[in-house]
Chains A and B, each alone.
Chain A
Amino acid sequence: MKKIILSAFAALFLVGSAFAETVRMGTEGAYPPYNFINDNGEVDGFEKDVGDMLCIRANLDCVWVINEWDSIIPNLVSGNYDTIIAGMSITAERDEVIDFTQDYFPPSPSVYMGMSGADIDVDSAVIAAQTATIQAGYVAESGATLVEFATAEETISAVQNGEADAVLADGDYLASIIAESNGEFANIGEVSIGGGVGMGIRESDTELKAKMNAAISSMKDDGSLNALIKKWFGFEAATF
């Protein structure tokens, strides 16, 4: 028994020492078209394409990690992965805890979505939003009643079953849901909140931040980033 424990303990400390520059990309996998898990069970979406291209340009070996939204920042700072690339808007509050690269997606409006035909005053109604998003923060200060959910998915169901009057989320996320709801849902208002979307990186990880910033700049310069934005968000989408 002692031997087993000792060798298990030894194994813990001897597991390979050679390492290449592998970067673990943390994403939520539940926010199409930014990031989602496709029918093959793989990470897909705008951010998958951007992230893979950034890694090629920065000469990094990238692997994708799924982490729920709620704990996505704590798990970055404790080192479970090295970047957050999950449609995260750059805000001052988040910037106190982690660092952001420059934005790889320009600011885009958030949309209130409710059932079609309902008469809703978004400043006093019950509004659903995903926890710890800029939209949740906005609703909390708008005077409306905020109900928070762990995933964007659940905010939609909350509107569908009447728990909330409307949902506030990124317009790009809601667009296809509204379009494919056969008229069940409607866009009932837009607000501009938050800056662009950037990649979250540990504050101590300045080297990775510099590499990613350079790669994003090069993608902006040669138009490949705009091409990806158009591919995933349509031709009307704001570009750089």
Chain B
Amino acid sequence: MKTKIYSNAKDACADITSGSSIMSGGFGLCGIAENCIDAIANLDIKDLTVISNNIGNSGRGLVKILIQNKISKAFCSYVGGNPDLEKQMFDGSVQVELVPQGTFSERIRAAGLGIRAFYTPTGYGTLVAEGKEVKEFDKPCILETALHADFAIIKAQKGDKYGNLWFKETARNFSPLMAMAAKTTIVEVEELVELGDIPAEDIHLPGIFVQRIFQGSNYKNDIEFLKVEEE
């Protein structure tokens, strides 16, 4: 029987090639696929299209791949906190499409769920609306299309061999949406568990959307801004 289980990130990411489009889960550095990012950093490839809310942050995460000049196009919603991306955006080495975050997540969700396009008021009257169809509902809305990718690299707290996933706290963010939208979804988990260990009603993403899964290792789980209650 064919298995979805891979032994490590290197094997799971081996067929990512130059020109591939990759969705990468995580909000800032929270919930990013650390092992997959490192594996891609070790591949001799270029001209990647990367779809990720932040394209890394504070010199970490996807910034590892960005500063290797492997990314030629990026879709994201936020550049703040990522000076490397801002620099490559201004010098033209990366073509950046800034997408409002709600439209970003919905375009990805739409791709995974078979919706070709949708109308949203977000971005009407701004640079985001340029060249897009406008239609008047209760208020003017713009037409946005689904956003697909060849690969998604996803990190979950727990997953089983079918690919059922459970995310911890706010680490869920874009990950289940991206897992649905990509042709090949690669998942790394902190805990690879047995079928049935995650109660069926607690599964955040059913395994039907997952093609590959492996037990991750050496997680840093970096905190960007540590704020604690003053005692």
**A, B: real partners:** no
Residues of B whose CB lies within 8 Å of any CB of A are none
Residues of A whose CB lies within 8 Å of any CB of B are none
